Every structure is written in structure tokens, then in C-alpha cells.
Structure 1
Amino acid sequence: MNCQECNKKIDRGCLLNCSSCKGPHHFSCMNIDSAKFKDHRQELNRTVKCGKCKRHSLTDTPALNSTSLNIDTNVNKANPILQSPNNQDHFVTENRLRDILRQEVSQIIKQQVAEQLKDIKTQVRSYQDSFEFFNKQYEDLKKSLDEKNEVIKYLQTDNQKLQSSVKDLTTRLSNVEQLMRESNVEINGLPEHRSENLSTTIISLAEAVGCSIGDADIQHVTRVAKLDKESTRPRAVIAKLRSARQRDTLLAAVTKFNKNKKAHEKLNSGHFGVSGSAPLAPIYVSEHLTPAYKSLHAAARTTTKVSGYKYVWVRNGRIYMRKDESCSCILIRSHDTLKSIT
């Protein structure tokens, strides 16, 4: 007869029948060692099942699936407990199989979880390194930004101080320049001639308004360049008199001459024998102001038109405004003063 497991011929001395299907098998094909077979042959014939019967019994167990059964076919080989010749229990019970499966599955899960945790730890460590790097970069940028802000604040404060100093120095320089012009008068509208004698013209102008000025009283006289090159008006004449008192005397005489006179009767080129193109050119005599004060004076005149002020004048290089006869005069020091008025 042949073995139902290996399909080879069985000698009488190696025959072992399955206790369930009674099929002939080699005792070695049923995982029984020779010593145990010789000592317990009859008992083994009553208790031992072949692999096929064992698989049928496991398939009938509802708690196990096909995958679990495939694992169980090699349980006897993998588990040293079942391979031990001294083990008297040759059957794998349902509970025992469950324990074995739990151990195997638990071990597999532990290995997989350990590998996954190792990968996660590696990723977390990489994220931590990246975070520490970016955090360091952020702290460096923040420190640098704080330093820059401190520098900016210092520069802003220093800039304000410098602007204040420049403004103060500009005002003082303008005052010094104006002080250097305290004896000067500026004459506008005087017609130009190639053969003109400005000293004689100024003496004639002073006589016309009733002011006595001699040639020795005029220290210097000249025409200055135009600010507007395209203007058709004659260049202004600047005359430096001997003292500021003579300047004030001449200005007072011109004001008195023009007072209460009609427009065509006020001081013009015909009053002191200066010929010009008809009609006669009006002559304006004023203090010689610096460019900064000229700009401020022009702005003050514009302000009087929009703010309701009636009077604006210059006295000793200073600009004054008055709203009407009953109001006190206001000293115009800068454009900020005009802004406060408007």
C-alpha cells in the first residue's frame, strides 16, 4: 500500500493509520519520530490525525479564515513546543491555535510598528532640525531688524536735529545777509539806456521826491540780472547809500510823494527827466531784500488777498501784516507764520 501523504510504498514497520480517516501513512509523514512511534504505536493509531484531517477540522472552525489555516500548516514546524518529542499533547486545539496566531500576528505587528515608528522618528528629527534652522534664521533676522530699527530711530532723531539746525542757520544767515543790505535801496521800473548814469539818475529821483542826496552819499550803484530771463521789464537798480538812515529818509520821501495821488501822478520816469517809451514808466523804490525775504514778501501779499488782511509792508528788512487800522501788526518770520494766518 502507498502513503496518502507522500504516495510512496509503506513497509509494515513504518505504517501508522489516521485515527479519523483510517488512511495509511508513514509515521514520519505525520511528524512522529521513530522512538515515539516504537513506544506508543497503538496509542498513536487511536489519537493521531493526518494533515488532511487536521485541515478539515480547522476549516470547520468558524473563528478561523483561510489565511489562518495556511499559517497553521507550518505551525508544527515553526513552534518548538509541538516539535518536542517529550510533548504528550499531539493535537492543536482551537484555543491553542488562537494563542499561536495571536503571538505570530502580534510579533509581525510589533515589527511593522517598530519600523514605522523608526521612520516617523527619523522624519520628526528631520523636521526638528529644519525648524531649529528656520527658528535660528528668524531670530537672526529679528535681531538684525531690531538693530536696524534702532539705527533708523537714531537717524530720524539726528535728522530732525539737523533739520532744525539747518533751519536755524538758514534763518541766521538770511538775517545776516539782510543786515548787510540795510543801507541799500532797490529801484524797479527805471528804463535802461546805454549811456545812462545811475548815480545822477538816483540824485534826480531823490530831488523829485524832496530828499537831498549828494554824489558822496551813494557808495555803489548797479543793475542786477533778471531772475526771469524772458521778462521785458528793465533790470532792477541797487544803490548802496552811506547809512541806513539815508535809506529810510529816501523811502519816507517816496511814500510821502505817492500818498494821496492818483495812479498816473505817482512817481514815474517823467518826474526826474528819464526818457522812456510812452507811456511813462512807474518807478518803485523799496528796501533791498534777500531772495528768501522777497519770496516771503510775495507770499505775504498773496495771503492778504485771500485772508482779508489789508496791509503788508517792509520795515528794516522785516515783513509786517495788519488786518485793519484797529488791529495790531504781525511780524512774518517764515511761511509757517502765513500758514497759521490762513
Structure 2
Amino acid sequence: MAKCGGCGKFISSAECIRCTRCPGAYHPGCVGFPAAAKVSPTWLCPGCKAKAPRQDNSATPVKSAMADCCTETQNPLSDPAASATDLNVAYEIRCFRQELGAMRDEFRQFQSELLSLRMTVNDCNQRMTTIESKVSDIERRFEEQSPANFDAVEASITALKTQLNDRDQELLQNDLIIAGIPETKGENAFHTVRVLSAKLGVTMDEQDIVNIERIGAVRRNFIEGVDTPPGEPRARVIAVRLARRGVRDQLLRAARVRRGLTAADLDVSGPPRRVYVNERLTQTNSKLFHSAREAGQRARYRYVWTKDGRIYARKEDGAPAQRIRSDADLAQIFGSGRVG
């Protein structure tokens, strides 16, 4: 089995035509012969014809295009370059059709995805329209509400806050705050409180103290009197929780009697600052008491104090005490609101 010199494919001996000068074999279709045509015994392949020398055939009549064929149905030999070009063109057309089909499939897929995206966008638009209508309805209802309703709501919120603050203050009925005691490393706060109670003349058992701790942010490597910046709070205060309220009241009364007690009297190292013993307040009451004291100084009130977690103010001796519960009371009693 030989290979065709035109297309390069294998061909059987019965189906091929052979050149009479070289061993080349060809398909009839590759050299332009019809299937029923009879090949001339002196047939030459295109390569051998191109190599044959030209002769002077001017006296010879014009040769018919079918001279190489023994029958009138034979076609002239095709140009090999033209045949190869036709094959290349056919191959290019086939590839182009395949690419065109792939592009058509991709375009159909793109149309499907675009349709899905359009449906999703429409759904989002409908949801946004629903949300906008609900927001508009809420705004309309809000605008229709009268100012009296808002005042009632604010009054209710204020009352609830006051109740919660009063309950938190009740939980601190047995607590004390001790300020002015220097803070040192490895200090024994329990011993300091026992010494303080002894200096005030109040007998305190070990079972009377439930818990002792310094409250506030921890400052590491803190040394009293050295690391204290000007205008900054010095040492953290000590919060003491007692088991009996009677002991707490005794300490408060004794501390009011002996107001000149200092840290030096307690055998505590550090600057001899004055020691203060007060009842512990909630954060809200503590801020309110601070504002009340400042407002009382401006309004020339002689007394502003706390008792059992409640804040009172008295203009002068013999005047009735007025209780302060909120900022509104500050404005009503002192004629100003909270400071800071």
C-alpha cells in the first residue's frame, strides 16, 4: 500500500494511478481525473511534467485539454498549487463554521444569563418599592403624632430610668467609699480599713467586711507622688462592702465628727493627704451629686449632701431640705442644668 503524493493518505494499488516516469501514486481525484476516466499509458505526474524540457511545438496544432485522457469525458490536469489552495480554503471554511457554531452557543448562554439577571433586578426593584412604601407610611404616621405623645413617652422613659437607678442604689446601702489613701504595691487594704475604723472609734469584726477593692482603671507601675500628673486623680478610691448597715452608719457618723483624719494617721506610706469616708453612690447619682455641688456653690447654697443614696440641698440654716432626683430638679432648684 502506497501513499498518495497529493493528499498524503494511504491508497491501495487498485484505486491509484501511477506515473510512468517516477514511482509516485495518486488518487484520481487528487490529480483531477474523473473516476470513470481511463489513464493514458504515457501519463506523467505533475512533478515529472514540470521537470520535462520544453520543445518547439509551434507546428503542432493546439492540443486538446482532454489529450491525456483516452475518452472525451476526461478533465484536464489540475494545478497542484490550486488544488492545495482549494483544500486549505475548505479547511478554513470548516474551522470558521465550527467557531461560528461555538459563538452561537455562547451567545445563547449569554442571553439566558441576561434574562436571569433581568428577572433578579426586577425582583429587587419590587422589594425596594415595597420598602419605600413602608418607610413612607412610617414617616407619615410619625408626622401625625402630636408633641404631647412624645412628651409622655419621654416622661415615661425618665421615670423608668429613675426607678432603675433607685434599685441600683438600694443594692449599695451597705457600701462605703474611702478616698485619699495612697495606693502602693502589695498593700493590705483589709488591714488599712481595720486601722481606719479603730482611729474613728468604731469596733469592726472580721466578719463585718464582705469585700474590699479599689475601683477604677488600673495604672501599672504607679507610684503615689511621683507618677501623679498635675490635675489628675491620685490614687483610686477603696470600695468597702459591709455585712451590717449599722456598722456603715457608725463609720459615716464618726468620719463626719473627725474630719481632719489623714493618711499619716493610718500608718500608710505616702503623702499625708486627707482621708474621706462617704457612702457609695451609683454612677448616675455620683454625676448628679457633683453637678449639684457645683450648682449649689454658684447659687450660694450652704448645704448639699447625700443620705442613704439620696441627694439633698438646703439654702441656709432653718430652710427646708430639697431633694434632687434629676437634671430637671437642678434647673428648678438652682436655676441651671448639669455642668459638663
TM-score (norm 1): 0.51
Per the alignment, do residues 276 and 332 of structure 1 end up closer, same or farther by CA in structure 2, a change over 3 Å counting? same
In structure 2, do the counterparts of structure 1 residues 191 and 157 end up closer, same or farther at CA, with 3 Å as the change threshold? same
Alpha-carbon offset, residue 157 of structure 1:
5.2
- Cα distance in 1, alignment partners of residues 138 and 244 from structure 2: 59
Matching of residues 152-301 of structure 1 within 5 Å: 152-154=143-145, 158-226=149-217, 231-258=232-259, 266-277=260-271, 280-301=272-293
The CA RMSD measured in Å over matched residues stands at 2.7
The amino acid that maps onto 2:269 is S
Shift of the 240–153 alpha-carbon distance from structure 1 to 2, 3 Å rule, reads same
Q: Taking structure 2 as the reference length, what is the TM-score of the superposition?
A: 0.52
Other structure's SS at 1:173 match: helix
- Give the ranges of 4+ consecutive aligned residues of structure 1 lying more than 2 Å apart after TM superposition: 145-151, 153-165, 226-232
Percent identical among aligned pairs is 28
CA-CA distance at 1:148 after TM superposition: 5.7
Q: Secondary structure at the match of 1:168?
A: helix
Q: Secondary structure at the match of 1:160?
A: helix
Structure 1 equivalent of residue 332 of structure 2 = 340
Q: Which deviations, in whole Å up to 9, do the C-alpha atoms of 1:60-112 show, x marking residues without a partner?
A: xxxxxxxxxxxxxxxxxxxxxxxxxxxxxxxxxxxxxxxxxxxxxxxxxxxxx
Q: How does 1:299-314 map to 2 (within 5 A)?
A: 299-314=291-306
Q: Which residue of 1 aligns with 2:323?
A: 331
Q: Quick one: distance in 2 between partners of 1:199 and 1:319?
A: 29
Query: Tell me, which stretches of 5 or more residues in structure 1 are unaligned?
Result: 1-144, 259-265
Between Structure 1 and Structure 2, how many residues are aligned?
190
Q: Do the aligned partners of residues 197 and 159 (structure 1) sit closer, same or farther apart at CA in structure 2, a change above 3 Å counting? A: same
1:272 maps to amino acid? L
Larger Rg: 1
TM-fit CA distance, 1:243: 2.1
Can you give the 5+ residue segments of structure 2 that lack an aligned partner in the other structure? 1-135, 220-227, 336-340
Are residues 147 and 209 of structure 1, via their aligned partners in 2, closer, same or farther at CA, if it must alter by over 3 Å? closer
- Deviation of 1:232 after TM superposition, in Å, equals 4.4
SS at match of 1:271: helix
- Give secondary structure in 1 for the equivalent of 2:281: coil
Shift of 1:300: 1.0
Alpha-carbon distance in 2 for matches of 1:272, 1:148: 65
Matches within 5 A, 1:21-36: none
On the 8 A contact 1:186/1:286 being kept in 2, the answer is yes
Q: Retained in 2: the 8 A contact 1:189–1:236?
A: yes
- For 2:273 and 2:312, the matched residues in 1 are separated by 28
CA distance in 2, matches of 1:338, 1:159: 22
